[in-house]
């Protein structure tokens, strides 16, 4: 594992511990040219959501390989939200027990109060299944 990946994993652990111990105050990361910075953020909204997983298979996405924010999806970073949560597009969320993700994609309009985590392997997405978790929507 390269040093950048270790740094990002370490930072995610710090973020989870901070959420538990501080409550309303969190730490988040921002990647800029392989440099990790910590920013002060506040909890904006919290709710219970259904958490599922998706891949970039044609039956699960549009024809292209880009998210709604015109970025390539990245496992462990990218997630999609249901259309009722569209106002969080481009922001970050904390999912209890999972970590911080960037909301850069949208789900089909038939879903409500749902977060879909991007996964590269179909088997991983199928094994993840469907769970309900507390989701904290972050603002800064």
Q: How far apart are the first and last CA of the chain?
A: 31
Share of the chain above pLDDT 70, in %: 64
pLDDT interval class at 43 (50, 70, 90): low
Give the C-alpha separation, 103 to 100, whole Å. Answer: 10
What token pair was written down for 71? 């970025």
Instruction: Give 62's DSSP letter.
Output: -
Choice between 52 and 1, residue whose per-residue pLDDT is larger: 52
Q: 90-118 pLDDT, tens per residue?
A: 999 999 999 999 999 999 899 999 999 99
Domains of the chain: 43-139 (2.40.40.10)
Q: What's the pLDDT at 76?
A: 92
* Residue 34 predicted with pLDDT over 50: no
Stated length of the chain = 140
DSSP 31-97: EETTEEEEEEEEEEEEEEEEEEEE-S-TTTS-SSS--TTS----TTTEEEE-GGGGGGTTSEEEETT
């Amino acid at each position: 594992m390269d040093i950048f990946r270790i740094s990002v994993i370490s930072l995610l652990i710090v973020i989870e511990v901070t959420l538990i111990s501080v409550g309303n105050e969190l730490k988040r990361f921002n990647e800029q040219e392989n440099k990790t910075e910590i920013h002060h953020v506040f909890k904006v909204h919290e709710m219970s959501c259904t958490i599922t997983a998706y891949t970039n298979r044609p039956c699960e996405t549009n024809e292209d390989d880009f998210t709604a924010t015109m970025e390539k999806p990245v496992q462990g970073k990218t997630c999609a939200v249901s259309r009722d949560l569209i106002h969080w597009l481009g922001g970050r969320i904390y999912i209890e027990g999972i970590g911080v993700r960037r909301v850069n994609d949208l789900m089909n309009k038939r879903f409500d109060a749902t977060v879909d985590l991007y996964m590269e392997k179909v088997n991983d997405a199928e094994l993840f299944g469907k769970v309900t978790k507390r989701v904290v929507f972050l603002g800064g």
